[in-house]
Amino acid sequence: MKVKFEVLGVPRSKQRPRVCNFRGRKFSYTSKTTKDYENLIKSSYLAVSQKF
């Protein structure tokens, strides 16, 4: 099954993960703008796919 959907807004590239040191340990995390855009894509897909 193929599903076509459109995401409104300006296209954005996925940013690199951020790495920080905390008490000698390294942690990586995804930036807020990347998370927000991924959630927009997810919600756009779910809005269309639930119609089938």
Contact assessment for residue 44 and residue 3, using Cβ atoms and an 8 Å cutoff = no
pLDDT band at 43 (very low <50, low <70, confident <90, very high): very high
**pLDDT for 29:** 93
**pLDDT for 52:** 60
User: pLDDT, tens digit, for every residue of 8-34?
Assistant: 889 999 999 999 999 999 999 999 999
Q: Which residue has the tokens 């993960």?
A: 17
**pLDDT for 3:** 82
Q: Which residues contact 33 (CB under 8 A, 6 or more apart)?
A: 12, 15
